[in-house]
Structure formats: structure tokens, C-alpha cells
Amino acid sequence: MAAHSASLDAFAQPGLDAATTRVHIRGLNHWFGEGEQRCHVLQGIDLDLRAREIVILSGPSGCGKTTLLTLMGALRAVQDGDVQVLGEQLRGASQVVLRRVRRRIGVIFQGHNLLRCLTAEQNVQMGADLNRQLPYRERRLRSHQLLREVGLADQLGKLPAALSGGQRQRVAIARALAAEPHLLLADEPTAALDSHTGREVVELLQRMVRDHGCSVLMVTHDPRILDVADRLLVMEDGRIRAMAAAA
């Protein structure tokens, strides 16, 4: 009930500032399954993400973190609630709007999900290619630049299979940033890495998003990386329970 009234309040607020608020979620509910199996996975989520903010979302497995991330990433249809991402309302949004939002969001997965048949450079360029205004050369230069920034300047021509897990995740970071996103969503980006490499990758991510002026929502279980966050959210049974300030 409380969540519901909060969402009404949000609607009442005039002139939501898109420049400073990257994500504005009020009263988000989500269900999976039909009939008897119907399961209320997200229960009245309220969430704001400001510009240049790094927020870490943690919580037990199965509490709905990934579902929340896919909804924010315009990858899944919003069933109920107010979800505004980068100034666009996602509830009932058309494919065109969803695609436009996706292009302005970088995504990093637990598995790196690179294209196996493309080199590191080409993988990053797949991100840059989404920007249709830039001519080919600039997109290429941009990919080079990003790979240099993630420390892979000498691995441009390698296929993902020839890279280590940490290197692949760095390529994935470079790819996610190649389309110049305003928002980056990362789902357990260190889960497949050892703790040392995981730490390195997250620090890199932190530095990169600061340089590129991007907001981040990162889902993680890893307690050793919580300190990179400006804000910590803990999720439990489909609700955001506690908001702790960063250590």
C-alpha cells in the first residue's frame, strides 16, 4: 500500500529532471507464470538513480535482481508501475522506443557474451556501430581508444577464445561504453572471475564510468567490491529493504 501511494506522489511531481535523474521507478510490480504458478517477483519497487551515481544492488539469489535489471534495461515488458529510464516511459513503450533506450544503455553480463567470431576490436566496434552518425573511421578509433583505456591495446586482433576471463570482461566493458551510454547495467560482472581479477575489473569499471560520465546499477554478491558504490541497495523477496550509505 505504501509503495502504491509513493508511485502516485511521483506522478504528482512535475518536471522530472531527466538531466540529473537517469532512472525513476515507482510502484513497479512484476509477475512470472500463470494461474496457480503465478509468482509476484517484484513487489512495489521504488528506485531512483541519479547522474554519475554508482549504485550496487545486492540480495539473496532469486530475490528478483536480474528481473529488475532487465526491466530497467528495456529488455522485458513492464507489466505494472512507472518506469522512466533516460527520460522515456517504458510501460507500454513501442519497440522503437525500447530500441532507442537500449542503445543508450550499456549492459555487462555475468558471462561476457562477446561474439565468438569477432576480434576484441570488432566486438567493441559492434557497440560503436550503433551510433549511426559517426563515420566508420571515428567508430574504429573510438573502439581502439576504449580498448586502450581498459588496457588491451595489444590484444585488438584476438578472438575472445584467446583471451583470459578478466580480459574478456574488460572487452565487454569497452563494448558497453562504446555506444556512449548514459546508464550502465551490470549483472554480477565479477561472478566468473577470481577475487583479484574481479577487484581489478570493478575498479576499472569505476574509473571508466567516472571518465565517461555514466550512471551504474550493478548487481553483485561480492562483498569485497561494495566499496566502489555511492549507494547500496539490498533486495529481499522482491522488495528493496534497506538503503545503506557506501562504506
Partner 1 sequence: MLPERLLHLWQRRRVPLAWMLLTRQPVRLAVALAGISFAGVLMFLQLGFRDALFEASITIHRLFDADVVLISPRSTSSNAMQAFPRRRLYQAAGWQEVASVAPVRWNFVQWKNPETGKPRSLLALGFDPADSVLLLPELETMQPKLRLGNRVLYDRLSRKEFGPVPEWFEQGREVRAQVGDVEVKVEGLVRMGASFSADGNLITSDRTFAKFRNSRGGVGTTNGSIELGLLRLHPGADAEALVRQMQAVLPPDVRPLTKDQFLAFEQNYWKSSTSIGFIFTLGAAMGVVVGSVIVYQILFSDVSDHLAEYATLKAMGYSHGSLVGVVMREALLLALLGYFPSWVAGLGLYALTRSQTMIPIAMTQAMATTVFCLILGMCTASGLLAMRKLNQADPAEIF
Ligand X SMILES: Nc1ncnc2c1ncn2[C@@H]1O[C@H](COP(=O)(O)OP(=O)(O)O)[C@@H](O)[C@H]1O
Identify which of residues 61 and 94 has a Cβ nearer to ligand X in the complex: 61
CA–CA dist 246, 228 (Å, integer)? 8
Establish if 67 lies at the interface with ligand X (CB under 6 A).
yes
Judged by beta carbon, residue 159 or residue 234, the one nearer partner 1 is: 159
| Closer residue to ligand X (CB): 41 or 120 | 41
Query: What is the Cβ-side half-sphere exposure of residue 50, based on CA atoms within 13 angstroms?
Result: 5
Which residues, 6+ apart, have CB-to-CB distance to 87 below 8 Å?
A: 18
Tell me how far, at minimum, the Cβ of 67 lies from ligand X, in Å. 3
CB of 12 to Mg ion, least distance (A): 33
Query: Which SS3 state, helix, strand or coil, does residue 105 take?
Result: strand
Pairing of strands 183-187, 215-219: parallel
Nearest to 184 by CA among 90, 64, 53: 53
Q: If DSSP codes are grouped into helix, strand and coil, which group holds residue 83?
A: strand
Alpha helices in 194-236 (DSSP H): 195-212
Q: Which of 54, 63, 171, 233 lies at the binding interface for ligand X (CB under 6 A)?
A: 63
| Partner whose binding site includes residue 122, from Mg ion, partner 1, ligand X, none (CB under 5 to 8 Å by kind) | partner 1
- Asked whether the beta carbons of 225 and 54 are under 8 A apart, the reply is no
Q: Which x/- pattern, by CB under 6 A, does the window 28-47 give for ligand X?
A: ----xx-------x------
**Residue 63: which of ligand X, partner 1, Mg ion, none does it interact with, CB under 5 to 8 A by kind?**
ligand X
Judged by beta carbon, residue 186 or residue 205, the one nearer Mg ion is 186
Of 10 and 183, CB closest to partner 1 = 183
Label residue 11 exposed, middle or buried (CB < 10 Å: 0-12, 13-18, 19+).
Answer: exposed
The secondary element (H helix, E strand) that includes residue 65 is helix 65-72
From candidates 66, 89, 113, 131, binder to ligand X by CB under 6 A: 66
Which residue, 62 or 213, has its beta carbon nearer to ligand X?
A: 62
Residue 62 interacting entry, from ligand X, Mg ion, partner 1, none, C-beta within 5 to 8 Å by type: ligand X
Options 48, 52, 66, 234; binder of Mg ion; rule CB under 5 A = 66
Residues that bind partner 1 (CB under 8 A): 66, 69-70, 73, 75-76, 95, 99-100, 102-105, 107, 109-111, 113-118, 122, 125-127, 129-130, 132, 135-137, 159, 175, 179, 187
DSSP for 132-168, written as a single string: SSS-HHHHHHHHHHHHHHTT-GGGTT--GGGS-HHHH
The C-alpha cell of 230 is what?
555511492
- Distance CA(109)–CA(189), nearest Å, equals 6
Using CB under 5 A, list all residues that contact Mg ion.
Answer: 66
Query: What is the binding site for ligand X (CB under 6 A)?
Result: 32-33, 41, 61-67
